[in-house]
Structures are given as C-alpha cells and as structure tokens.
Structure 1
Amino acid sequence: MDISSDTAEASCRVGPIRASFAPDMDRYEVSGVEKRRHEFLTGRSLAENALCHMGCADPFVGRHPDRSPIWPAGFCGSISHSDQLCAVMVGKTSALRSIGVDIEPQGAVPDGLRDTIYGPGDDPVGSDTTLIFAAKEAFYKMWYPLTGVFLDFPEVGISVLGAQVTARLLTSTAPLPPLQQIHGCVSHCQGHIMVVFALEQAPGAQIRLYDQVSALCKTANAPPRDGKDKPPAAPGAHWITR
C-alpha cells in the first residue's frame, strides 16, 4: 500500500482474506461461487484498509443497485480485479472528484472484438485491443459516479503515447464539459495492463498520476517496503492539470 496526503493505492493477489487483515468482511453479503467471493472481498478488504489509513472512521464500501461502489462520505475511489490481481485507488473528495481504475490480463480481449471496442476517435497506433478496452473501462468508471450516464465504446476516443493515455469524450449529450478530454496513465504489472484516470477537484490542481500508478505496480510486484525506497521519477512521468 502507498499512502499520500490525498490518495491511497494498494494491490494484491486475489484470494482468501485473512481475518487479521480485514476483520469485518462478514458484513458484506456476497452471493455466487467461491471464486467470485474471493474477488469481491479482496477488493473490499483493500479498499477498507486504504480508507482506514486515510483516517476514515467507517470504511464500509456499499453497493448501489447497479453494483457500483458506495464510498464513505468524503472519499471517492475505484476497484478493479481480474481473477488473479486486484487494484484499488482511494482519494479524498477535497482533492479529487472521481477516480477510475481498470486492470486486465494482457491479451484478455481478443482482436475479434476490435470492431466493437474501437471507434472513430481511437488512435490505434502503438496500442492493442486490451489496452483500448482497459482505458475505456477506466474512463467510464471515473465518469459514471459523476453523471449516472452510460457510455458506449465509440463515445470515448483513446490515444496512447508511452505511459500516458488520453481520453476524449465524443458525445454531445454529455454533461460536465471539463471532461471533454482528460489524461491518465497506463502501466503493466504481473502480466496485466492497468489504466488509471483521476479527475481533480479544483481547476489547476496537479496530481502526479505516474507515481500513483507506479506505486500500485510496485506493490503488486515486490515484497513489502519500509517506505524509504520510493522510486525516482522515471522518463515519461507527467503532471495532469485541468
């Protein structure tokens, strides 16, 4: 887990949750097979731990009827998992309006779905179908809590340049004009592609998104750290401003 003043990021392997790590998981009602329970409770346990470390008194993360998370007052966040890996990012609403995270196994989305996922606003250079899919999913997970508006794949255009991914909103019916274009970050860990978008609260606010995603990937790829070996800013690190 990586903690800053406004955000917390964590990732781990999907699996049974130890009671010592998340003692209140019994309050989550989860139906379905054991694999589904492990995936859901891994995400909720990571989210609760991140919220607790940020000072949240009651870190319970509920569910709307559409199954999207209900974050405690004063916080926003996003949870994503495959059947192997789970990633969570949580932020304070004093700094962030919304967060979207998506993680997909590399090659998980076959090229046969390319015509469904790609739209006229997508730049396919240097990217693959799974990356474009993950970027659109991450943007949607950031977008939907703010608007309650569903988006189809062609309504978001994606371009990728190195570690930076840019999403452009292509629908004229969308509220929130500031979301017409936003920059996010893409990275790789344990055979997965991860994309993160974070929309800051105030115009001109700055978020070092590259470092946040690097923290998630390092947590997933390395043993626990003592907090003293923060990696230096790598080439391609960037600020996003709104």
Structure 2
Amino acid sequence: MLRGPHGAPQWPDGVVGSITHCAGYRAAVVAHATRFRLLGVDAEPRAALPPGILETIVLPGERSWARDLRAGSPGVHWDRLLFCVKETVHRSWYPATARWLGFEDARIFVDPVAGTFSARILVPTPLRRQGRPISRLSGRWLVGEGLVPAALATPCDPCSAPGARRPCAGCRVPPRPRWPGGRDLPPTKNEKLPPQHGGG
C-alpha cells in the first residue's frame, strides 16, 4: 500500500478504507466505494494524554463535557477518548476530500452510556449525501483491555432510491470486466451484482 503526500494510504479506485496502529494493536477497515462514502478507525492506548496535548485539540464545549465525565467516570481517560474520536474523524475525512481537517474543525460529543459519538464539521464541506451537505458524522467507541478504539462509517447514497437515475460521483458502480468483443464476464461464485439505477 503506497502512501500519499500526508502519509494517508492510497486506496485503489473504487475502494475506501482506513488503518490504525498503536503498541500491540493493528486494524484496517475496507469497503467498496459503492457502499460507503467515509470510513474511519483509530485506536489509542488506554492512558491519559501527555501533558499539554489536550489544550491543542480541545474546543470549549468539549472541555466542559470531558470535565463532567471525568468527575462521574474517573476510570475512563476522556481526554484520550476525545483525541481518538478526532483522529477517527480526520482519517475518514481526508481520503474523501483531500482536505486537511484540524482538531479545531470538528466539534465532538460523546454519549457515555450508548458508547457512541457525533462530530459536527465546522468547515465548508464538499461532500453530499442525498443532496445535502455531510456536516455531521457519527460512530462508536469503547474502552477495552489497554485500548481505546473508535470507528465511523457513512453509507453512500442508496443507488436504488426511488426516482434516482444516476449514482452520485462518489458512488458510481465500477465497470465490470469484459471478454474480448464486449461481452460481460459472468459474476464469480460469491459475487453479488450491485443494484443499478433504472433509466439512463
């Protein structure tokens, strides 16, 4: 897997994915671009952030909920979780937009009971889903043995939506391989053909 200018993996055309690694843990998520527009994953050690790091990533509202959650659940390093979620959002955003997303460009809210998070993107977004800007992302997190992982997945536009006539730019079905002469190759044994739009 080749690296891009900022170190992000260069996924093949028609593929979206995300990778992460920390001491003792490696993970990757991969999917067809016909199914997901954004994928992000990050894993961090279950430990407090080093001194001075929180101040460089936190927004005022995030500091408030992190402080409240720390008081109620001191066994969770909420500063590390906030960092992990922001990394997850960035890892999903950059491959889809080729635009840098800073820590201050996404406001995070964490649900400590459901194990979920939401992220509001605070910069103009070029991404659309069903005609609307993608300005909010959501995902899940957990605290495990020595690890704090988080992940998010944003589905692509449903290509079989009623009235849809052609897929969005990020959701086009790649052309099927063909025999010489133009006939389609038959699907492989386990392959399912993606839904197609009616009309042209």
Could you state the TM-score of these two structures normalised by the residue count of structure 2?
Answer: 0.65
Q: 1:204 to 1:140 in 2, by over 3 A?
A: farther
Deviation at 1:89, TM superposition (A): 1.0
Please give the residue correspondences for 1:205-224 in structure 2 after superposition, counting only pairs within 5 Å. Answer: none
Deviation at 1:146, TM superposition (A): 1.3
Query: Which deviations, in whole Å up to 9, do the C-alpha atoms of 1:81-106 show, x marking residues without a partner?
Result: 10211111111111101211010001
Question: Which structure is richer in relative contact order (CA contacts within 8 A, separation 6 or more)?
Answer: 2
Q: Which residue of 1 aligns with 2:119?
A: 167
Please give the residue correspondences for 1:61-140 in structure 2 after superposition, counting only pairs within 5 Å. Answer: 61-110=1-50, 112-122=52-62, 123-124=65-66, 125-126=68-69, 128-140=78-90
1:78, 1:89 within 8 Å by CA — same for their partners in 2? yes
1:103, 1:194 within 8 Å by CA — same for their partners in 2? yes
| Number of residue pairs matched by the alignment | 144
Please give the residue correspondences for 1:6-45 in structure 2 after superposition, counting only pairs within 5 Å. Answer: none
Higher Cα radius of gyration: 2
Deviation at 1:188, TM superposition (A): 2.6
Uncovered stretches (5+) of structure 2, i.e. residues with no partner: 71-77, 161-200
Q: Aligned equivalents of 1:76 and 1:176: distance in 2? A: 15
Letter of the structure 1 residue corresponding to residue 126 of structure 2: P
Kindly, what percent of the aligned residue pairs are identical?
33
Q: Aligned equivalents of 1:145 and 1:132: distance in 2? A: 21
Structure 1 residue runs of 4+, over 4 Å off?
none
Deviation at 1:160, TM superposition (A): 0.7
Uncovered stretches (5+) of structure 1, i.e. residues with no partner: 1-60, 206-242
Query: Which deviations, in whole Å up to 9, do the C-alpha atoms of 1:35-93 show, x marking residues without a partner?
Result: xxxxxxxxxxxxxxxxxxxxxxxxxx322132211112322111101021111111111
1:121, 1:170 within 8 Å by CA — same for their partners in 2? no
Q: Aligned equivalents of 2:137 and 2:47: distance in 1? A: 25
Q: Among 74, 85, 92, which residue is 1:142 paired with?
A: 92
Could you state the TM-score of these two structures normalised by the residue count of structure 1?
Answer: 0.54
Query: Which deviations, in whole Å up to 9, do the C-alpha atoms of 1:2-54 show, x marking residues without a partner?
Result: xxxxxxxxxxxxxxxxxxxxxxxxxxxxxxxxxxxxxxxxxxxxxxxxxxxxx
Q: Which residue of 2 aligns with 1:186?
A: 141
Deviation at 1:203, TM superposition (A): 5.6
Q: Aligned equivalents of 2:157 and 2:34: distance in 1? A: 9
Q: Aligned equivalents of 1:111 and 1:170: distance in 2? A: 26
Which one has a larger percent helix, Structure 1 or Structure 2? 1
Q: Aligned equivalents of 1:81 and 1:181: distance in 2? A: 25
Q: Which secondary structure does the structure 2 equivalent of 1:185 belong to? A: strand
Q: Aligned equivalents of 1:81 and 1:118: distance in 2? A: 23
Q: Which residue of 2 aligns with 1:14?
A: none
